[in-house]
A and B are shown apart, each in its own frame.
Chain A
Amino acid sequence: MFAEQILNGLTLGSTYALIALGYTMVYGILELINFAHSEIYMTGAFIGLIMVTVYKMPFPLALIIAMAGSCLLGVTIEKVAYKPLRKSTRIAPLISAIGVSIFLQNAALILAGPQVRAFPVNFKSASIKLGQSIQMSSLQLLILLISIILMVGLHFLIHRTKLGQAMRATAQDKEAAQLMGIKIDRVISFTFAIGSALGGAAGVLVGVYFNSVDPMMGFFPGLKGFVAAVLGGIGNIPGAMLGGLILGIVEVLGAVYMSRYKDAIAFAVLIIILLVKPTGLLGRKLQEKV
């Protein structure tokens, strides 16, 4: 029973981790909380749903198209809403992000209507036995596997490719990165692209997992992904993965004992982490600026 709950927590947590990665990557480079990220997640879910229901696409293809669509949306948001404000005060792009978030929610409400839709996936749900008493649905396994593949892929991209190296350099020192000949505008676009694709993938996976998609679906997962990013140390990529998994487990276990407070748990975690270790689990100490 306990082990099963841990597995449930890991499944949910892996989707939080995917969302948290988008927040943390953007923060790492621009020191901006991209509040529109939760709507990128929602848009990903809708694109996936449309591909599956309207165009009758197989699930893997729908997932890829949803990721591509979210990626495009993320890059467009950056170009339209953040880039023109890059030299202004820090609060300006933050307000712009909230504006984009509200705009996208309402655009989805107009286009899709407020009703909750099912996400029918032609997928035989079987339960898999791990050991004697632990069961896991094949859907959970699929979600976990896809999340892990995406995270391993991201790790490879960031640590083994030239582009990943340019991303890390830009995150550490934008001006020095420019002096290496790195086109940082391109790196920033790319960061939004990757983070948004992961967020869109999370939207599809959660849509399938809970069999529900609606224009407001991004609100809580978006906030929780943000909490996961802060928990792991905002700006820190392994931290976002760890934070997501921990938050998922804590939330699922907490819900067993006090189910009414399920959504409150994440925010209790946020308050505790901000009180005890504001830089997050893997975050670096903030350097004092002289």
Chain B
Amino acid sequence: MLRLENVTAHYGTIQALKGVSINVNEGEIVTVIGANGAGKTTLLKTICGLVSATSGKVYFYDMDITNLPTSDIVAAGIVMVPEGRRIFPRMTVLENLQLGGYLNRNKSETKANMERVFELFPILKDRLHQIAGTLSGGEQQMLAIGRALMSRPKLLLLDEPSMGLAPKIVLSIFDIIRQINREGTTILLVEQNAHMALSTAHKAYVLETGRILMEDTAEKLLHNEQVRKAYLGEA
């Protein structure tokens, strides 16, 4: 479904991706784990056109989407939930969700999509007219995911959804990520919390300083000694 071929990208003057190739199949949850500064965020931003690839190709289905404008990539069905949630803090929950459905001009579809978001996150319905910046961290993460789902993406890119959240809330966010996947959305998940990511995903990549170091099923990587030492904090 999504295929990156030898993608390089720069973040300022630093080369953040040094030839990354990954493959995401339809229906999967794929995770990319790695330390801070490994290039995870740059990878997602390159896929959705916020950072331009200096070489290499990004294919979505068989369409070459390398360096297309972000709005075209969103319209094609790839939506990213950015790191740090990045909800619109001075707008209401409702307006945030409406913006998530910005490209959909069909009002009844937008309404149906919103109902689906409320099923996943009932709390958002209670907070509908609250200013988004006043939500708790967990609620903001739910809003950010809900907002992304408003356009019914085929592929959802999640950047550090566990960041800054209490462990209990992280668990429920990952439950919902699995549920979204079961309902048919393919997910590419980038995480520092390697344990959560590997126990959720089907397939995993280990990214280190801009290069893919390992690639295997998440299950196998979870039990890989090198991974356990470097990313799971085990001796």
Q: Which residues of B are found within 8 Å of A172, using beta-carbon distances?
A: 88-91
Shortest distance from the beta carbon of A280 to any chain B beta carbon, whole Å: 16
Shortest distance from the beta carbon of A1 to any chain B beta carbon, whole Å: 42
Contact across chains for A162 and B102 when beta carbons are under 8 A apart: yes
For residues 59 through 91 of chain B, which have their beta carbon under 8 Å from a beta carbon of chain A?
A: 69-71, 74-75, 79-80, 82, 86-91
Which of these, A162, A165, A173, A179, contacts B70 with CB under 8 Å? A179
How many chain-A residues does the 8 Å CB contact rule pick out? 16
Contact across chains for B91 and A168 when beta carbons are under 8 A apart: yes
A62 to B183, CA, bound (A): 58
Contact across chains for B102 and A181 when beta carbons are under 8 A apart: yes
Q: Given A165-B95, A168-B88, A175-B50, is A180 in contact with B100 using a C-beta cutoff of 8 Å?
A: yes
A138 to B148, CA, bound (A): 53
Q: Which residues of B are found within 8 Å of A169, using beta-carbon distances?
A: 88, 91, 99
Check A176 for interface membership: any CB of B closer than 8 A: yes
Binding site secondary structure of chain A: helix
Q: Given A165-B98, A168-B91, A175-B50, is A181 in contact with B86 using a C-beta cutoff of 8 Å?
A: no
Contact across chains for B102 and A176 when beta carbons are under 8 A apart: no
Check B103 for interface membership: any CB of A closer than 8 A: yes
Q: Which residues of B are found within 8 Å of A180, using beta-carbon distances?
A: 74, 99-100, 102-103, 147, 151
Q: Given A168-B88, A175-B50, A179-B82, 10 more contacts at CB 8 Å?
A: A169-B88, A173-B88, A178-B71, A179-B74, A179-B79, A179-B80, A179-B86, A180-B99, A180-B147, A183-B69
Contact across chains for A181 and B90 when beta carbons are under 8 A apart: no
A-B contact pairs, 20 of them (CB 8 A): A162-B102, A165-B99, A168-B90, A169-B99, A172-B88, A173-B88, A176-B88, A177-B99, A179-B50, A179-B70, A179-B80, A179-B82, A179-B86, A181-B75, A181-B102, A181-B103, A182-B99, A182-B102, A183-B69, A183-B71
How many chain-B residues does the 8 Å CB contact rule pick out? 26
A176 to B147, CA, bound (A): 11
Contact across chains for A176 and B103 when beta carbons are under 8 A apart: no
Which of chain A's residues has its CB closest to B49's CB? A178
For residues 81 through 119 of chain B, which have their beta carbon under 8 Å from a beta carbon of chain A?
A: 82, 86-91, 95, 98-100, 102-103
Contact across chains for A166 and B102 when beta carbons are under 8 A apart: yes
Shortest distance from the beta carbon of A183 to any chain B beta carbon, whole Å: 5
Q: Given A168-B88, A172-B91, is A178 in contact with B70 using a C-beta cutoff of 8 Å?
A: yes
Contact across chains for A173 and B102 when beta carbons are under 8 A apart: no
Binary CB contact string for chain A from 139 to 181 against chain B (1 if under 8 A, 0 otherwise): 0000000000000000000000010011011001101111111
For residues 232 through 267 of chain A, which have their beta carbon under 8 Å from a beta carbon of chain B?
A: none
Q: Which residues of B are found within 8 Å of A177, using beta-carbon distances?
A: 99
Check B173 for interface membership: any CB of A closer than 8 A: no
A113 to B88, CA, bound (A): 49
A199 to B27, CA, bound (A): 53
A173 to B69, CA, bound (A): 17
Q: Which residues of A are found within 8 Å of B86, using beta-carbon distances?
A: 173, 175-176, 179
Q: Which residues of A are found within 8 Å of B70, using beta-carbon distances?
A: 178-179, 181
Which of chain A's residues has its CB closest to B105's CB? A162
Q: Which residues of A are found within 8 Å of B102, using beta-carbon distances?
A: 162, 165-166, 180-182
Q: Given A172-B90, A172-B91, is A178 in contact with B99 using a C-beta cutoff of 8 Å?
A: no
Q: Which residues of B are found within 8 Å of A178, using beta-carbon distances?
A: 49-50, 70-71
Which of chain A's residues has its CB closest to B98's CB? A165
A177 to B103, CA, bound (A): 12
For the complex of A and B, 8 pairs with smallest distance between CB atoms: A181-B74, A181-B103, A176-B86, A178-B70, A180-B102, A181-B71, A172-B88, A180-B99
A172 to B92, CA, bound (A): 13
Q: Which residues of B are found within 8 Å of A168, using beta-carbon distances?
A: 88, 90-91
For residues 165 through 209 of chain A, which have their beta carbon under 8 Å from a beta carbon of chain B?
A: 165-166, 168-169, 172-173, 175-183
A177 to B102, CA, bound (A): 10
Contact across chains for B82 and A176 when beta carbons are under 8 A apart: yes
A37 to B91, CA, bound (A): 29
